[in-house]
Structure 1
Amino acid sequence: MSCSIAVTNSPVFSPSRGVVPASLFCNIPAIISSSPEALSLTLSHLKPSAPSSSSCPSPSSSSSPSSPFRIRLQKPPSSLSNTTTSSSTVASASISGSGSSPTIPKRKRPMRLDIPIATFSFGAPATPSASAALAKDVVSEEREEYGYSVYCKRGRRESMEDRYSTTLNIGGDPKQAMFGVYDGHGGVMAAEFAAQNLSKNIVDKVARADGNVDGVREAIKEGYLRTDSDFLKEESRGGSCCVTALIRRGNLVVSNAGDCRAVISRGGVAEALTSDHRPSREDEKERIEAQGGYVDSYHGVWRIQGSLAVSRGIGDRHLKKWVTAEPETKVVEIKAEHEFLILASDGLWDKVSNQEAVDIARPSCLGTKGEELMAACRKLVDLSASRGSCDDISVMLIQLKRYT
């Protein structure tokens, strides 16, 4: 709808003598709503009137031929013919004369607001984090050497929070090695720290320990606790689940703190060597409650203090009273029937069962080519992702026959 106003050079419009009655302009909406037909209104011999107290503005004076003051209202579009038009609808009226162009006030853009994004971590202090510097801005990462392969794929996160570590030829012995997978939460710093320090701490402790099984168990426990205490001194937030496998003197020593898992293939039959540490485990729940904490379920997930969904791991300063870094360890003598070992984060195990993982990986792991191991890692990761896993997924396959 448009509205055009032709203004005369009548004394009526002289600033010194008066203005057009404001009520005329204020009643334009009423005129429009009363009839959808085209209207032609001719006003003449208007007498000056005192300025109205109405809030409706008056038109400014302009020079034009001495013709009557005329308002022409075009017929509104058919889509609006049956609609009552409010005063806000008449927003495109133009006031023009023969010697000047209309001045249309421009609408100001509102000032831009910069709202900082805060990170909340259930009671942890908001401190600057170096996670962004440590995080590897990659979608996936892979590595393969003779006897093992590892493949990590980022989920729907800002950065990859999974890490891994490998230590081969310990003490110059090709039959000794150590492997680890680390799943960070609340940032990447704890997983990065564990990947850089946990294996080293364990190897150092084991080298000083007695050669018996109990001595190795205790050395590994000390290595986990030492890594945890050193990380807490860094005053960094976040935590990490860990699973490690030490191969030494014909034995496979597997340890975990959290829900990363180790599964071995024994003649094609899957056997879990670790048990996930989650608040839903009855013994873990009892331990937490005995120390004054509580465990509850939120949307089907059991959490400590309504926050963390794992009960053991490196870090987690704000929940350290209930989240211990002490691992559970199992020792297995490597035999010919032991074909390969899978170390993986919960990104895999939440979507793929132990036996299913072994069945998929076994054809590749029984071969000798490294690319076949990598292909098996990729298959497992892609399977979990195709089933809806949004988490980071890390899978490491280790052939055990080279250590027998």
Structure 2
Amino acid sequence: MSCSVAVCNSPVFSPSSSLFCNKTCILSSPQETICLTLSHLKPSSSSPSSPSASPKSPFRLRFQKPPTGFAPAPPLVFGSESVSASCTSQSPPGGALKRKRPTRLAIPIGPPDFVAPSSEKLVASTPREESREVEREGDGYSVYCKRGRREAMEDRFSAITNLHGDRKQAIFGVYDGHGGVKAAEFAAKNLDKNVLESVVGKRSELEIADAVKRGYLTTDAAFLSEKNVKGGSCCVTAMVSDGNLVVANAGDCRAVMSVGGAAEALSSDHRPSRDDERKRIETTGGYVDTFHGVWRIQGSLAVSRGIGDGQLKKWVIAEPETKILRIDSEHEFLILASDGLWDKVSNQEAVDIARPFCVGGGDEKKPLLVACKKLVDLSASRGSSDDISVMLIPLSQFM
């Protein structure tokens, strides 16, 4: 059978009527043999067993019918990031080609793992691609992550509480990876530490904001210096120290606070659709356009800031926007979440659903975790196919 493949620019490759052409199929009943002519192969120099073959005729593969059996396929080779199968077959004497059947893949199923580098810090890690949910009821916070339709969950979170033995000092983060999990994992393990090291000894709001910026940029540079890294991650962090709340973000992870029951966004999403972000990108030689109704940088990425994205680093910067405020009695709780929530649930809806569980407690054994799950389930019920991560942090504990 002569085959020609039509190559197109479509991201989705699908068969069409133009995919297969010049088919030649010869059925020879007396010998019960099927001959497939492959015109792209070199002609055979000799074929004494076939009276129709000649040095000028196309090379033929002969399949004896019925087949003699199936030969076992060679073993699959597993790499660190991919699985590849290599199959080599040779025709035995007489021209019969034995078909080889690929072996079945046995995918292990396991629970999500948590890696705690120290007694204070918890970093969510889901190395198994099959992990669909991660939940944690921590010291003064709760978080729930649910995988979307991807093969691997790309969201991560981190939490460091009881800093320096002081329960009123902590730092939290939610990280939404894209193009793989490496950037989100790296940020979850390093960003909060780099921010804390940078803010030591800083007092004024300007100094603190500049220190947080250095923490983000240091993390970004360290990730890009790693070997074989790809993809990126949006980030939102919330640091509490001496009654002050410092919220920073790069990308479209968002922080929303309940102020007496009213939702107040403490961060602004970094997307190419923002006028100031689009102007910054175009000023530096990039372009922004829409694809399937979504604004993208260079026709590719739908966020304009974050950790990683080395191939777009000229336009996708890691510099965060930071907001600092003093916690008072009206500040009830904080929601940190990935865009998997915010694309389907409004700020006020999220506060209304979480508030009964965060203010005044409840009858549930783990009220904060129940609230996180309710928010995630609401977004999923509205059609979100993205990974969804929600972290709730009551603020009265830090006053």
TM-score, normalised to structure 1's length?
Answer: 0.68
Inter-partner Cα distance in structure 2 for 1:105 and 1:129: 41
**Residue number among 263, 281, 284 corresponding to 2:277 in the alignment:** 284
Q: CA 1:154/1:57 → structure 2, altered by over 3 Å: closer, same or farther?
A: closer
Q: CA 1:107/1:293 → structure 2, altered by over 3 Å: closer, same or farther?
A: same
- Structure (1 or 2) with the greater helix fraction: 1
**Residue number among 221, 225, 240 corresponding to 1:233 in the alignment:** 225
**Residue number among 376, 394, 403 corresponding to 2:398 in the alignment:** 403
Residues 33-73 of structure 1 show CA distances to partners (whole Å, capped at 9, x for unaligned) of: xxxxxxxxxxxxxxxxxxxxxx98779xxxxxxxxxxxxxx
Inter-partner Cα distance in structure 2 for 1:350 and 1:328: 20
Residues 97-143 of structure 1 show CA distances to partners (whole Å, capped at 9, x for unaligned) of: xxxxxxx94268999999x9xxxxxxxxxx9759x997343110111
* Match in the other structure for 2:250: 257
Inter-partner Cα distance in structure 2 for 1:276 and 1:111: 56
Once the two structures are aligned, what percentage of the paired residues are identical? 63
- Opposite residue 345 of structure 1, the aligned amino acid is S
Inter-partner Cα distance in structure 2 for 1:286 and 1:111: 61
**Residue number among 137, 141, 146 corresponding to 1:144 in the alignment:** 137
Alignment of 1:307-386 (within 5 A): 307-368=300-361, 371-386=366-381
Residues 182-234 of structure 1 show CA distances to partners (whole Å, capped at 9, x for unaligned) of: 00000000000000000000001111x42111111011000000000000001
- Opposite residue 402 of structure 1, the aligned amino acid is Q
Q: Secondary structure at the match of 1:172?
A: coil
Please state if 1:106 is matched with 2:66: yes
**Residue number among 382, 385, 396 corresponding to 1:390 in the alignment:** 385
Structure with the greater relative contact order (CA < 8 A, sep ≥ 6): 1 or 2?
1
Inter-partner Cα distance in structure 1 for 2:356 and 2:126: 36
* Match in the other structure for 2:265: 272
Q: Are the equivalent residues in 1 in contact too, given 2:254–2:268 (CA < 8 A)?
A: yes
Alignment of 1:27-38 (within 5 A): none
The alpha-carbon deviation at position 248 of structure 1 amounts to 1.1
The alpha-carbon deviation at position 368 of structure 1 amounts to 4.1
- Opposite residue 308 of structure 2, the aligned amino acid is G
The alpha-carbon deviation at position 154 of structure 1 amounts to 0.6
Alignment of 1:3-42 (within 5 A): none
Q: Secondary structure at the match of 1:171?
A: coil
* Match in the other structure for 1:50: none
* Match in the other structure for 1:219: 211
Inter-partner Cα distance in structure 1 for 2:145 and 2:336: 12
**Residue number among 196, 205, 210 corresponding to 2:202 in the alignment:** 210
Inter-partner Cα distance in structure 2 for 1:321 and 1:220: 21
Provide structure 1 residue ranges, at least 5 long, that are not aligned to the other structure.
1-54, 60-103, 117-126
- Opposite residue 212 of structure 1, the aligned amino acid is S
Inter-partner Cα distance in structure 2 for 1:364 and 1:266: 15
Provide structure 2 residue ranges, at least 5 long, that are not aligned to the other structure.
1-26, 32-63, 83-106, 108-124
Alignment of 1:140-219 (within 5 A): 140-207=133-200, 209-219=201-211
Q: CA 1:376/1:58 → structure 2, altered by over 3 Å: closer, same or farther?
A: closer
Inter-partner Cα distance in structure 1 for 2:397 and 2:305: 32
Residues 257-277 of structure 1 show CA distances to partners (whole Å, capped at 9, x for unaligned) of: 000000000000001110000
Residues 124-183 of structure 1 show CA distances to partners (whole Å, capped at 9, x for unaligned) of: xxx9759x9973431101111242100001111111110000011222221110000000
The alpha-carbon deviation at position 336 of structure 1 amounts to 0.2
Inter-partner Cα distance in structure 2 for 1:269 and 1:58: 85
Q: Secondary structure at the match of 1:356?
A: helix
Greater alpha carbon shift after TM alignment, 142-151 vs 258-267: 142-151
Residues 357-390 of structure 1 show CA distances to partners (whole Å, capped at 9, x for unaligned) of: 0000000001346700000000000010111111
The alpha-carbon deviation at position 332 of structure 1 amounts to 1.4
Root-mean-square deviation (CA, aligned residues, Å) is 2.7
- Opposite residue 106 of structure 1, the aligned amino acid is P
Inter-partner Cα distance in structure 2 for 1:302 and 1:250: 39
Inter-partner Cα distance in structure 1 for 2:261 and 2:214: 34
Q: Are the equivalent residues in 1 in contact too, given 2:139–2:161 (CA < 8 A)?
A: no
Greater alpha carbon shift after TM alignment, 169-178 vs 239-248: 169-178
* Match in the other structure for 2:103: none
- Opposite residue 197 of structure 2, the aligned amino acid is D
Q: CA 1:365/1:56 → structure 2, altered by over 3 Å: closer, same or farther?
A: closer
Q: Are the equivalent residues in 1 in contact too, given 2:256–2:335 (CA < 8 A)?
A: yes
